[in-house]
Amino acid sequence: MIGAGGAARVMPLDRLDMRLEPGGWDYADSRRAEVDAFFAAQTAANPALWNGRILVLARHAVADGVLSGRYREADFASLLWWLRHDCPGDGKPGEDVCNAFAMAALRAADGAFVLGRMAGWTANAGRIYFAAGTPDLSDLRPDGTVDLAGSALRELGEETGLAPADVEIVPGWMGVFAGPRIALMRELRSPLGADELAARIRGFLATEERSELDEVVVARGPDDVSEAMPPFIRSYLLACWEGERGKP
């Protein structure tokens, strides 16, 4: 299925097989001086930016409804530099680096999606997202698999205050393949209506000393799609509504 509004491919996935493999991000490591200078300028403008160890997807494939991928360890400075410079690469055979992350696609009982606007101190200030985060070392299981389902639930709790018991996890995933970005959407359904759910999240944000979100955004249909939403969010929402059109 092709999501409207761009070249992103939106497809259902039965499961994920994502693991960490040895090695680093060779291309970013070879540009270390550029990365360090870039990140120094970024932190001078925004001292709140964090730089820690994260995971980038070195290679992946989809077959029979399963997304298989192998992550490698890097630092957030390298990822941010790469994203802000249009995701360059050296064409090394076998290396097709992507920024692949899980998103908690929160949906209210009335069918509306509930998203958040990133606060001014974050790296993506003003952008509207579902709760999400770059996979990091805390997402690794002892067997080397990357727990993206757990990552989505953790980010949901950190950003909205909602616990796993507050939502129903819809089986499977929706993968949004948008060039060097792969957004893995896990739909999480709340028993609350959109207005009540948004009010609950706003109440949580008001208790936070420094929240990642500064507003809650409800999307009930295509008219609520905003340019502040990245293309992969827009593609996902439009694909969901298109797929549901005409269903009883």
Instruction: List, for residues 231-247, the tens digit of each pLDDT value.
Output: 999 999 999 999 887 66
| 27 lies in some domain | yes
Q: Give the length of the chain.
A: 248
| 2 lies in some domain | no
Instruction: List, for residues 83-128, the tens digit of each pLDDT value.
Output: 999 898 755 555 689 999 999 999 999 999 999 999 999 988 999 9
Asked if 167 contacts 106 with a C-beta cutoff of 8 angstroms, the reply is: yes
Strand 173-178 and strand 181-189: pairing? antiparallel
Instruction: List, for residues 165-219, the tens digit of each pLDDT value.
Output: 999 999 999 999 998 999 999 999 999 999 999 999 999 999 999 999 999 999 9
Has residue 3 got a pLDDT over 70? no
Q: What is the CA radius of gyration of the chain?
A: 18
| 209 lies in some domain | yes
Total domains, the chain? 1
CATH of the domain at 120: 3.90.79.10
| 3 lies in some domain | no
| 195 lies in some domain | yes
For 48, the token pair is: 């709140």
- 138 is in which domain, residue-wise? 9-244
* pTM for this prediction: 0.91
For 205, the token pair is: 């944000």
Strand partners, 15: 66
Rounded to the nearest 10 degrees, what angle do helices 32-45 and 76-84 cross at?
90
Distance CA 135, CA 148 (A): 7
| 153 lies in some domain | yes
CB atoms within 10 A of CB 146: 25
| 68 lies in some domain | yes
Asked if 135 contacts 150 with a C-beta cutoff of 8 angstroms, the reply is: no
Give the pLDDT confidence score for residue 92 in this predicted structure.
Answer: 58
Helix (H, G, I), strand (E, B) or coil at 22: coil
Instruction: List, for residues 31-57, the tens digit of each pLDDT value.
Output: 999 999 999 999 999 898 889 999 999
Mention every residue, 6+ apart, whose C-beta is less than 8 A from residue 94: 59
| 4 lies in some domain | no
Give the pLDDT confidence score for residue 1 in this predicted structure.
Answer: 29
